[in-house]
Structure 1
Amino acid sequence: MIIKNNLLIAAALFASSSAMASDFSIGAGALFNESPYKGYNENTIAVPLISYEGDNFYLRQTTGGWVLWKDSKNEISLTASWMPLYFDPDDNDDPQMKRLDERKASAFLGGAYYRHESWGSLKFAVSGDAMDESGGMMGEISYFHPIRLARLTLIPSAGVFYSDESYNDYYYGVSGSESRRSGLDEYTAGDSWTPYVGLVAKYQLTQSLFLNASAMYTVLPDDVKNSPMIDRDDSFALMTGLTWRF
């Protein structure tokens, strides 16, 4: 079961929901994800849904954080994230894409700052590739605002991801040797800003059982969509699932 792209988007989709969770919750769901890579069809896979909110530590799906300072309006933390974005040519249906090199998943270390106000919350985050697969850096600026209606909580969000040249070129660039093998044009990607909008819905079925749904739409930046590996201009992810809160 593979999500070819965009795990960056899927992780943010889940994290906006998990950031509002209480204590510890665990569950399972299904994720539908459109891959912008050529040779991949839409993918629907099973995913675990896990979150924990403590005084000094949190786990928000693929991101863990150690809280350095926190009050009613601010939170500063060191973060460690697993970014399972990768490209496996053996799983691709396109004959040219099959001749490209593998792109591996990696772990990222960094920091995050949340600012909570009555009108919503802001998030600022930055991290770097700790395993040096891409050698790149990523950042995020986002806004989300919980709207609570009896048993239903809605969390609309909007934001932008920053990916530097090293990150983009590793996942979307085509080297000279790859170009000669595959017939795809050689390509070097620069840095980029990727805007997105999302919506999380959480419905309380019982005191402990919750129904979750999350959707996120992303517009791919020029340095991504101009790659010969890419055949679309946008990306969409949808998650549904059940979680049990302890």
Structure 2
Amino acid sequence: MNLVISPARICAFTAAMSLLHVNAAWAAEAALSGDLGIGASWSQSQIRGERERTSAMPYLDLEYGPAFARVDTFGVKVLPVAYGHIEVVGQYRHDGYKAANLGKRQDSLPFGMGTLQITPIGAFDVRVYHDFGKSAGTLWQARYLAELSLGRVTLYPEIGAEYQSRRYTRYYYGTTEADAATLARNYQPGSAVNVFAGLLIDTRITQHWYTHLYVRRTVVGDSVADSPLVRGKGRNTALLAAGYRF
């Protein structure tokens, strides 16, 4: 008999087991901390025929007991480990698109596990997701953040990488039959590793009010960049927000 354990089953099992720990942790740690505000995001599109995206968004960098929100990542801390916790996490990516003359792709629904380790030499963030959306692919993410305080301004430079499985890249960057007919080219990419560097600038305005400016440059892997759906290897994103710090 063959026993196959899929990433989806692992995520579901981990989420169920985490419920055994959450109630006690909530009672012991229930206190709101972090930043709550509003902002605007801007991003270049990698997809040919799609415009740049600019949108208003809530700015959430909060913790309440074991629950947390970190801008685009939401989850629950499950088990203390070293300088952080094992976490059950979900992510909002807004990676779907509807470009001219191309088939529509739906947003992914990533859910998985991770850990944020805040050490004396910086923060290490590692996550693995299964996409419960259309691609059914897998994402691995790793990044490092440093901290530099300059009076009222604090800088957080980051570097990182994301692995995208073949299922994920084929859904978002591979051609459908209709795409291939339009572009006169069929393309089915393999897995990809994208690297990025970013900078978060936090500025204290008053005792509780802060502004947040975040910029990131991403360079995609060759299997993504070679897709006829994609224009160029580089992609820039930015976020500007103001928030109240609890």
Instruction: Please report the TM-score for the alignment, with normalisation by the length of structure 1.
Output: 0.82
- 2:184, 2:217 → 1: CA distance? 28
In structure 1, the partner of 2:80 is 70
- Secondary structure of the residue that 1:50 maps to in structure 2? strand
- 1:183, 1:235 → 2: CA distance? 22
In structure 2, the partner of 1:200 is 200
- Residues 115-124 or 205-214, more deviating: 115-124
Compute the displacement of 1:32 (Å): 2.0
**Structure-to-structure mapping, 1:22-171, within 5 angstroms:** 23-70=33-80, 73-89=83-99, 92=100, 98=101, 100-131=102-133, 133-171=134-172
Greater RCO (CA < 8 Å, at least 6 residues apart): 1
- Residues 134-143 or 110-119, more deviating: 110-119
Structure 1 residue 245 and structure 2 residue 240: aligned? no
Task: Structure 2: state its 5+ residue gaps.
Answer: 1-31
Compute the displacement of 1:207 (Å): 1.2
* Letter matched to residue 123 of structure 2: S
* Letter matched to residue 102 of structure 1: K
Instruction: Please report the TM-score for the alignment, with normalisation by the length of structure 2.
Output: 0.82
- 1:24, 1:113 → 2: CA distance? 18
Residues 133-165 of structure 1: per-residue CA shift (max 9 Å, x gap): 111010111100122222211100000001000
Residues 25-83 of structure 1: per-residue CA shift (max 9 Å, x gap): 22122222111111133333222211211331111123211111236712210112233
CA contact under 8 A between 1:72 and 1:116: conserved in structure 2? no
- 1:225, 1:116 → 2: CA distance? 33
- 1:85, 1:41 → 2: CA distance? 13
* Letter matched to residue 209 of structure 2: L
**Structure-to-structure mapping, 1:162-241, within 5 angstroms:** 162-180=163-181, 182-241=182-241
Alignment RMSD (CA, Å): 1.7
Pair 1:152–1:175, CA change in 2 (3 A): same
Instruction: After the TM superposition, list the runs of 4 or more consecutive aligned residues in structure 1 that deviate by more than 6 angstroms.
Output: none
- Residues 213-222 or 145-154, more deviating: 145-154
CA contact under 8 A between 1:31 and 1:47: conserved in structure 2? yes
Task: Structure 1: state its 5+ residue gaps.
Answer: 1-21, 93-97
* Letter matched to residue 193 of structure 2: W
- Secondary structure of the residue that 2:218 maps to in structure 1? strand
* Letter matched to residue 185 of structure 2: D
Compute the displacement of 1:119 (Å): 1.3
CA contact under 8 A between 2:183 and 2:228: conserved in structure 1? no
Q: Give the length in aligned residue pairs.
A: 215
- 1:129, 1:199 → 2: CA distance? 27
- 1:226, 1:72 → 2: CA distance? 41
In our comparison, the structure showing a higher alpha carbon Rg is 2
